[in-house]
Each structure stands twice: as structure tokens, then as C-alpha cells.
Amino acid sequence: MRAPQSVASSAAPPACITLTLEEVHDLSLRVLTHHGLSSAQAQAIARVITAGERDECHSHGIYRLLSCTRTLQHGAVVRDATPVVSDRGPGVVAVDAQFGFSQLAFEVGSKVLLEKVAKTGVAALVINNCYHFSALWPEVEALVEHGVAALAMTPSHSWVAPAGGRRPVFGTNPIAFGWPRVGAHPYVFDFATSAVARGEIELYRRSGRALPAGWGIDADGASSTDAATVLDQGAMLTFGGYKGSALSTMIELLAGPLIGDMTSRESRAKDDGAGAAPCHGELVLAFDPRFFSQGDFLEDRMRAEKLFEGITDQGARLPSQRRFAARERSLGNGCVQVPAALYYDVRQLLL
């Protein structure tokens, strides 16, 4: 750990702590194993948390250790769960996470998914009975590295009201997509179908800031900018009104009843107020572009590059460009900045 940054005076507490990526990983691993998680489960989660800090996705970095340990204290997570893989057919692989976290289940299942998509052109990975807290971009990026396009989606807890409603029905219900590019970072988007990820609102509550309008409502359905009101009494909102509401419904169906797993309302009912991570399923789809081309596969890839150029040549930003730039900075500097208050809260988890 390096010297604190942004110190107002010699007596003032530091605003931020500088950590190497290795220190982020080590801290994550120590916290998780301290709370009884098996080495294999902890390693998979530590890799994702480190990636979040590396890419300056702070709501999915070490901040998530607070909710992970809360979930472990809840007692429902199987701390030494070993994912069980089953073959559902030429294009479908299923992994029962055995009520462990989703990260290890994905790592195990994605290997089989890649084998299948190389043979069939399209393949699906179904993850059941998992506790899920992380972003989806690490998963689609891991698949895109192998030259396939990928789509991932999952429900969560019912925190989000449908457009025109005031009671929570949906989860934040993220969806992520990745496309392999030629000589460039992949095209990746990952966003909640809620107006913002729940972790962002939790960070606003920690800092005492008012929420932007349109993120949430109170118990009566009136717009609220108070994070505690939205999180504890009211509901979050979908992005784009009815459009986000429709996408959220689609994710509930495809990553819930379609794969034999819970909806966001069922997941929240199972939690019964404990505040653990959502327990549900996840659907991941992979597409091998070589199976779809009508002619020259490489020509089709360059056609995609011209599409991206049409966006960036006019000054528009591709999704994840900010994250990739942050990654280059972090790797170049060999370190990241973590809010001191959060760092000390995480250190308390080791006591």
C-alpha cells in the first residue's frame, strides 16, 4: 500500500488510499476466505472485484466485499459449493451453482460453452441456483477473447417498479453484449435496465449526496432524490420508461422461467429481508461469426469495423471506452485509488 493521496493537511485523514492491483486482489481474497468462502470460490470473486477496481467501476470493486460478506453471514450461501455441469444438448450447457456464487459457475461453464459454440455456431450457458452480485462485462469479455459474440442477462431482487407503477416488480436486470474487434478493444456494453445500478444509489447514500431526478420514487410513487427513501421505502425506476420496462420483463422471462429459475420477486421473497445478494439464474448466449457469414468472414468483420468508425469518426464514444481507458491507466500506473472510508470499512471485515 502506497502513501495516501489527497491529504488536506498532515493531521487530516486521507481522502483516498493507493493500492496496487495485487493488493486489491489480496485484500479481496483475505476478506472472503476469512468469512469462510472456499479458495476456489474466493479466487473467482477476487478476480472480478480486482477487474472492477482496475477499470474504475467502483460500484463493482472492493465495495462489493461489503455485500458479499453480508451474504455469507446470511448463511444461505454454500461456502464450498462445487458447480455441477450437465449437458442439455448440442447447443446448451447447464451449470448448477449449488447455491454458491455465480463467478466460479461461469468460469467452469464457459469452457464447455466455448467448446459447443465452436461446433454449433450458437450455444447457451444456463447457470442455476447462484448468488449473483457482479457486473456482466467480465463474462462477455472473457468469451469475446475467443472470437465469439456474447450476450448475458440476469434478474436480481425486485427493487424496480414497472413504468407507470409504484411497487417493485423487476430487478435491476442487467444485460451485456460483447463483439470481437480487429486490432482494438472489443465492443462491450453492460447496463442495468433500471435507470442506474443499485450499487450507484448505495454509493450516493454513503456519501450523503442527492440522487439525480428519475432514478427512484418514494412509497407513494412520487419522485425522490433521497437515496435512503428510494432504497428502503420506495422503488428504483427503469431507464427509458416503458422501453426499459419491456426489456426488464424480457430478462425476467429469459433468465427466469425459461431456464427454470426464480424471478426477481421470488428471489427477494427468498431473501426475506436479510439483505443478501440475489439468488436466481443467469443466461449466457454465444455466437460464432464464422457460422453466419454468407461469404468472406474477414470482409464481414471489416464491415463491422466501418460501423464503429462511423460512430467514433464524428466524436461519439463507444460503450466501455471510458472503462478501457481506465484499465490502461491502472495497468500503466500499477495502482488504483480507493476511498479511505471504504478501505477502512473493508479492513474491518477482517476483524
Out of 25, 35, 58, 60, pick the active-site residue. 60
What cell numbers appear for 168 in the block? 417493485
Q: Is 282 a catalytic residue?
A: no
Compute the radius of gyration of the chain from its Cα atoms.
Answer: 20
What does the alpha-carbon distance between residue 182 and residue 271 come to, in Å, rounded to a whole number?
44
What does the alpha-carbon distance between residue 28 and residue 54 come to, in Å, rounded to a whole number?
13
What does the alpha-carbon distance between residue 328 and residue 318 come to, in Å, rounded to a whole number?
16
Tell me the H-state helices in the chain: 21-34, 39-54, 64-74, 102-120, 137-144, 198-207, 227-232, 242-254, 264-271, 297-312, 321-333, 340-348
Out of 34, 38, 56, 59, pick the active-site residue. 59
**∠ at Cα 209 (188, 272), nearest 5°?**
75
Q: Is 200 a catalytic residue?
A: yes
Is there a contact between 100 and 83 (Cβ–Cβ < 8 Å)? yes
Q: Is 25 a catalytic residue?
A: no
Buried b (16+ CB within 10 A) or exposed e, 124-142: bbbbbbbbbbbbbbbbbbb
Out of 139, 141, 200, 282, pick the active-site residue. 200
Give the residue numbers marked as catalytic: 59-60, 200
